[in-house]
Amino acid sequence: MRAAVAAACTLVIGFAVEDMRRRAVSTKASGRLEAGEEAQRVRRLERMKAALRRAQERLSALSEALPFGMWELDGAGSQIVHASDSYCQLFGMNLEEIAAHGWRERVPPDDAERFLSAWNARGDDDIFEGEYRVHAVDGKTYWILSRGMRLTAADGTTSWAGFSLDITQRKRSEQRISLLSDLGRVLSLSLEPQPILERVAELLVPRVADWCAIDLAGRDQGIERAVLVHRDRERMRAARCLTNSAQLAALLGTASARVIASGEPILVRSFPREVHQSAMLSPEQLATAQAFRADSVIVVPLIARDQTLGSLTVAVDDPWQRYESDDVDFMGIVGRRVALAFDNALLYERERRVADMFQRASLPASLPAIPGIAIHAHYVPGANEAQVGGDWYDAFQLADGRIGISIGDVAGKGLHAASIMSTVRLFIRATALEGLAPSLVLARANALLLNDKPTMVTALFGTLDPEELTFTCAVAGHPLPVVVDAAGEATTGVPVAPPLGITIDTSFPEQTFMLPLGSLMALYTDGLVESAEDARYGEADLVKAVRGARSAHDANPAEGIAKLLLGDAPPSDDVAVLTVQAAAKPLLELDLTLPAQPVSSRLFRQALRRFYLAAGVTTDAIPMLQVAMGEAITNSIQHAYGVQGGVVRVQGRVESGRLIVEIADTGRWRGPHDDGGGYGLQIVRSIVNDVTINTDERGTIIRMVHPIGRFIT
């Protein structure tokens, strides 16, 4: 730059000297001066001439030494009167040819328009500056910065003089820096592997390529084309159909395969055009070849952590845009950055997938099924770009016939949160199975967390009593249940105790919720409502959603609530919802099928108890009736036990004041006395009037009928 300024100064001095010379000559012609003075003047003039020559020589040398040297235009700025040789060499023409047609031929039309319109709009400015490209005679494209000054001679005539600089390198650097900065932004936009590649290709086309392909090294040395983007949308569509074709792979994949195998980039400076028209190609191949015509191609490897993940191909189909070796170096930098971001995304995705699998595996495989109560759950993982969180739900049968239900949320995300979640969920379950009250269960879980690794966990644990239709829960910093009854009235509460894992110096008081017939209770983690800007609106929306799900009679109300509140878009945080639905009518008809296993015996009795109560059997008659039913059920379980998929089905109904219970199994009836030492049938017949046993090849049905209100107590 300093050289350019110096050149400009020299130029100005040069013109000044010229001006002096002109004046000297005109003075001489007047002939009014004396001889002595004349001789002195001539000597002075000679000295000036010599100085001028030196200046001109210096100017000329400088002009030639400059990348594209000097130029001079006439005053109107329409005629080139001088251009240095280097400028002419760029065009491969002489001054006259450049002036006549060459400039227009060698400067791309867009650039010519822009430059000339700026020139024509220069007005009275004394300085003009503009840039344009020249498709030079050497086959390369140069960026030229042209800067000129208006010169006004003493006589008032003006002209323009200036210099042209080769700023090709500067332009490239600018473009590359801007591209790298945009690349950094694009790479930070996504944590998903495929979108990263797509965004990179969209960035490179058309800024440095007419089309761009990214291939990934697959298993067994196969190569998969991950992305293909063409500047021309029509060709892009054509390519979509062909992306997976073997022909395309054959045409475009060979270079990628070589690069992936060697880890070394490839530059094809210029493709012979014939390649695209070869008679050796099938029509399909030809179409592809034409759509993905290229004059120049660079393929760089995508290497991250010493592993070649794939290759990045950029191509131009304009001979003036041909790539040079420094473009390969630049694309190498792009390739390394893309590869690292892509590899990070792969690692991230792997971790997320593991965490997701872990979380799903950590949730209960099935929920308890008891007549008259329907328990559903729904888990929604967080948005793809986020890690899996630590939300859980759980529901399980307790020894006394009640159902234990827990839900909670471990602070943080990822595997750490998921593993804590799993521990806490199982710890709550184990403690609850010991028969501890909800407040104690949470107190123990709190102690466990504080003793092991202090992590903040919000949790709710409660017991559902199917007979009383109540839910008694203790809460640690967790949202309380929302119960909506058959009339649409909503009940909820506020947590009074802090989350688990904060302080040992706290207790977890219990609260009881009524679950009247036809009501729906929803338990949830806060991801369900936190999208709302204001928590109060979140709660109002939640009540609305629970109300909606209650009256909609969805197959899974938990899922219904999640859909109503979250829509179809994945939530930012993961969400767990569990619902408890109380049947609209008392349990006057019982139909329960359970596996033929000893533990089912008590579950049947628990369901039967609720059925007796609904049917109007007095509580003092229930224990004896339970023994009669229990005998029959135990026999059925024994018969069907060990049978593949063996089940026992208990049905109960009330008909004209009589209680009818049928117990069916898939095994063979061996008489109700096997292990009862002969007491079984005797007991059943003493309690129930009418007992019939039907056995066929499918199994056995024992039917018991007795008038309600006439049971022995």
Binding site for another protein (CB under 8 A): 399-400, 433-435, 598-599, 601-602, 605, 623-624, 626-627, 630-631, 634, 637-638, 673, 675-680, 682-683, 686-687, 712-713
Closer by beta carbon to another protein, 199 or else 605: 605
The nearest distance, CB 611 to another protein, in angstroms, is 16
Report phi then psi at 600, rounded to 5: -70, -25
Nearest residue to 84 (alpha-carbon basis) of 65, 105, 56: 65
Residue with tokens 């790298």: 180
Three-state SS for 291-315 is HCCCCEEEEEEEEECCEEEEEEEEE
The nearest distance, CB 384 to another protein, in angstroms, is 40
Q: What token pair was written down for 295?
A: 């004059």
Furthest-apart CA pair in the chain: how many Å? 164
The nearest distance, CB 693 to another protein, in angstroms, is 16
The nearest distance, CB 397 to another protein, in angstroms, is 11
Residue with tokens 């002419």: 88
Any residues with CB less than 8 A from the CB of 308 and at least 6 apart, and which? 217, 260, 263, 301, 302
Nearest residue to 406 (alpha-carbon basis) of 519, 516, 556, 508: 508
Closer by beta carbon to another protein, 532 or else 683: 683
Closer by beta carbon to another protein, 296 or else 406: 406
The nearest distance, CB 618 to another protein, in angstroms, is 14
Q: What token pair was written down for 308?
A: 């070649």
Closer by beta carbon to another protein, 337 or else 706: 706
The nearest distance, CB 630 to another protein, in angstroms, is 5
Closer by beta carbon to another protein, 509 or else 671: 671
Given a contact cutoff of 8 angstroms between Cβ atoms, the answer to whether 558 and 380 are in contact is no
Mark 630-666 as b/e (b = at least 16 C-beta within 10 Å). Answer: bbbbbbbbbbbbeeeebbbbbbbebeeebbbbbbbbb
The nearest distance, CB 215 to another protein, in angstroms, is 56
Q: What token pair was written down for 615?
A: 């049917």
Closer by beta carbon to another protein, 50 or else 399: 399
Q: What is the rounded distance in angstroms from the CA atom of residue 697 to the CA atom of residue 141? A: 92
The nearest distance, CB 657 to another protein, in angstroms, is 24
Closer by beta carbon to another protein, 6 or else 599: 599
The nearest distance, CB 662 to another protein, in angstroms, is 19
Closer by beta carbon to another protein, 438 or else 680: 680
The nearest distance, CB 186 to another protein, in angstroms, is 56
Closer by beta carbon to another protein, 276 or else 605: 605
Mark 249-278 as b/e (b = at least 16 C-beta within 10 Å). Answer: bebbbebbbebbeeeebbbbeebeeeebee
Nearest residue to 141 (alpha-carbon basis) of 163, 114, 167, 179: 167
The nearest distance, CB 391 to another protein, in angstroms, is 27
Q: How far is CA 639 from the centre of its chain?
A: 55
The nearest distance, CB 219 to another protein, in angstroms, is 46
| Sheet (strand 457-465) strand order | 389-397, 403-413, 457-465, 470-476, 510-514
Closer by beta carbon to another protein, 152 or else 686: 686
Given a contact cutoff of 8 angstroms between Cβ atoms, the answer to whether 524 and 479 are in contact is yes
Q: What is the rounded distance in angstroms from the CA atom of residue 197 to the CA atom of residue 313? A: 12
Closer by beta carbon to another protein, 435 or else 707: 435
**Cβ-based burial of 62 (10 A; exposed 0-12, middle 13-18, buried ≥19):** buried
Closer by beta carbon to another protein, 438 or else 481: 438
DSSP 184-196: HHHHTT--SHHHH
